[in-house]
Amino acid sequence: MKLLRFNNGRIGLVIDDTVRDVTTAAGVDPEFWPPVGVVRLIEQFAHRRDDLLAAALAAEPLAIDSVVIDNPVPWPNKLIAIPVNYHAHALEMSSPAISKNGGFFVKSASSLSGAGQPVLLPDLPGRAVHHEAELAVVIGRRGRHIPREQALDYVFGYGCLLDMTVRGKQERAIRKSYDTFTPLGPWITTADEVPDPSALRVQLWVNGEPRQDAWTRDMIVDVPEIIAMCSSVMTLEPGDVIATGTAEGVGPVVPGDEITIDITPGVGRMTVAVAQGEGGWNVAIPRTLPNI
């Protein structure tokens, strides 16, 4: 299944390139705050699956381009990210095996956004903001000290993710946690439709120009080991999102650009706009680079 969130919090399934509204069957109130309905749905998904499918088949088909696509997993307990997790990207960044030697870091969950929302660049003249195309893993059930051999049993699904980054020497978390800096989507494809997360092709284009193209088999730390590593430190909860790292080819974007990420087979394709935002400077990241 492909689970979509659209039009300010409604829940849909994607069937034959159409959206089917299953909000009622999902037990999600789009007006409820905080928006934890999707996390609850993920935790209960095995019991609701048949009802969701029946509701989808009975619902009126909506054209995908007629809806506004939201972030599919708002309000996760954690947004975890793996740094420098492809061999060629390690060479590109002169940061060998950070994922293996340095583990992971945590981004602000408020940086998550959906395909229908632009990436807003902070007002930081002279600072480059780079795209990073990544496979997202969404956790389906609670787990701690998960063995590698059982790790994929804890996965709810997969999605496309952009880990936008202000380049600089500050800690990753501050440079990667701006609002809209983690587009996720366009939907979550359930794990049964992605039997082997090590056999996926991750591609990215900016304004139609190819920038990134890699296979997940080239990860330094693969998806099962990522889950085992993270769960050895903290309890993973339903709805937690893990960004599994990017490949070589990262590069800058500017206002007016359009970023497209595609993960095949079966995960999805997402296009987001890039626009100029306001503010974003602080004591750690000054508005303009100092003269040296």
Is there a single domain that holds both residue 106 and residue 171?
yes
Is 132 in contact with 163 (CB distance < 8 Å)? yes
Is there a single domain that holds both residue 21 and residue 108?
no
Provide the domain count of the chain.
2
Is there a single domain that holds both residue 93 and residue 185?
yes
Encode burial over 97-126: b for 16+ CB neighbours within 10 A, e otherwise: ebbeeebbbebebebbbbbbbbbbbbebee
- pLDDT-derived band at 90 (thresholds 50, 70, 90) equals low
Q: What is the DSSP letter of 65?
A: G
Is there a single domain that holds both residue 161 and residue 57?
no
- pLDDT-derived band at 292 (thresholds 50, 70, 90) equals very low
- pLDDT-derived band at 91 (thresholds 50, 70, 90) equals low
Cα Rg, the chain, nearest whole Å:
18
- Does residue 176 lie within any of the structural domains? yes
- pLDDT-derived band at 89 (thresholds 50, 70, 90) equals low
Q: What is the dihedral of CA 123, 125, 127, 131, to 10 degrees?
A: 50
Beta strands in 103-219 (DSSP E): 105-107, 112-113, 119-121, 129-131, 133-139, 155-162, 165-166, 182-190, 201-206, 209-215
Is there a single domain that holds both residue 134 and residue 207?
yes
Domain of 45? 2-66
Q: What is the CATH number of the domain that holds 242?
A: 3.90.850.10
- Does residue 74 lie within any of the structural domains? no
Burial class for 258, CB neighbours closer than 10 Å (0-12, 13-18, 19+): middle
Average pLDDT over residues 22-42: 97
List, in order, residues 6 or more apart from 77 with CB less than 8 Å away.
Answer: 39, 109, 237, 239, 240
Q: What is the DSSP letter of 180?
A: T
Is there a single domain that holds both residue 51 and residue 170?
no
Query: 17, 38, 66 — which closes off a domain?
Result: 66
How far from 26 is each of 46, 57, 114, 256, CA to CA, in Å? 12, 14, 20, 36
Amino acid identity, position 16: D
CA gap 219, 190 in Å, rounded = 21
List, in order, residues 6 or more apart from 234 with CB less than 8 Å away.
Answer: 78, 144
Q: Whole-model pTM?
A: 0.95
Is there a single domain that holds both residue 145 and residue 21?
no
Measure the N-to-C terminal CA separation of the chain; round to a whole number of Å: 54
Encode burial over 211-235: b for 16+ CB neighbours within 10 A, e otherwise: bbebebebbbbbbbebbbbbbeeee
Is there a single domain that holds both residue 145 and residue 239?
yes
- Does residue 288 lie within any of the structural domains? no
Mean residue pLDDT of the chain comes to 95
- pLDDT-derived band at 59 (thresholds 50, 70, 90) equals very high
Higher-confidence residue of 291 and 134: namely: 134
- pLDDT-derived band at 102 (thresholds 50, 70, 90) equals confident
